Amino acid sequence: MSGTSEPHIAVFGASGAIGGAFVREILARHPRVYLHAVTRSGAAHEDNRVHWHRADYRDETSLGDVAAAISRHAPIDLAIVATGRLHDAAIRPEKALRDISAPALEQLYFENAVIPALILKHVGPLLRRDGRAVFAALSARVGSISDNRLGGWYGYRASKAALNMLIKTASIELARRNPEMIVAGLHPGTVDSPLSGPFQSGVKPGKLFTPDFAAHKLLDVLDGLQPEDSGHCFAWDGQRVPA
């Protein structure tokens, strides 16, 4: 984290399964970290290194207010967006064209692409300008167009593909401001969480990860990225996910 002994880090979605694991892993790695943890519900636990912020991710004014609070402790060395949606009571991944609905497509696009883009809009200006800085958002391998061999999951695939394009486009702009800036997507694998719960039966043995394992591996990946990696998506094992 830019060689500083007290990195400033922000995690959005910090009360989710993977987001909470990111918080725990960051605290374990950085004893003197100044960590902004952003959630929809507020503080999840007490630690004087963690500064909790409540945000309505669907309200850009709320995101602006959180960014203003974070700005008092800028620059930020690392920002992670660990929000996202695959399904809920009203949305199930589509198996065929007949299952597509406009409301589901719109909701998935907003949750998986618009929200990370709005966070980057407001947090991007707070990222370090003089040295290495990283912005990362949880994406998914199913967002890869060239790797799509199974079909299905129209809304989720399309929304993650859109996120990957937003990441690529932002990486070009932000590199003009800071050549050491890295903007990346992260594929955590299949993580044992409410998001993957209904779809775990087909996961190969050894490929269902705990949130803590995923966060540990993804932070290792981020630590190893170079500016030339900016704009791409990387899996938990460090492999670049094809576009």
User: Distance of CA 53 to CAs 13, 67, 90, 223, Å?
Assistant: 10, 10, 28, 25
Percent over 90 (pLDDT), the chain: 86
For residue range 71-125, what is the model confidence (pLDDT) as tens digits?
Answer: 999 999 999 999 999 988 889 999 999 999 999 999 999 999 999 999 999 999 9
Residue 117 has phi, psi (to 5 degrees) of: -65, -40
Q: List the domains of the chain with CATH numbers.
A: 8-241 (3.40.50.720)
Q: Closest by alpha carbon to 63, among 79, 85, 44, 47?
A: 79
Q: How confident is the model at residue 202 (pLDDT cuts 50, 70, 90)?
A: low
Q: How far apart are CA 168 and CA 162, in angstroms?
A: 10
Q: Is the pLDDT of residue 47 over 80?
A: yes
pLDDT at 2 over 50: no
- Among the listed residues 159, 153, 161, 160, the one whose alpha carbon sits nearest the alpha carbon of residue 93: 153
The whole-angstrom distance between residue 230's C-alpha and the CA centroid of its chain comes to: 14
- Tell me the mean pLDDT in the region 156-163: 98
- Using one digit for the tens of pLDDT, what is the confidence trace for 215-230? 999 999 999 999 999 9
pLDDT of residue 41: 86
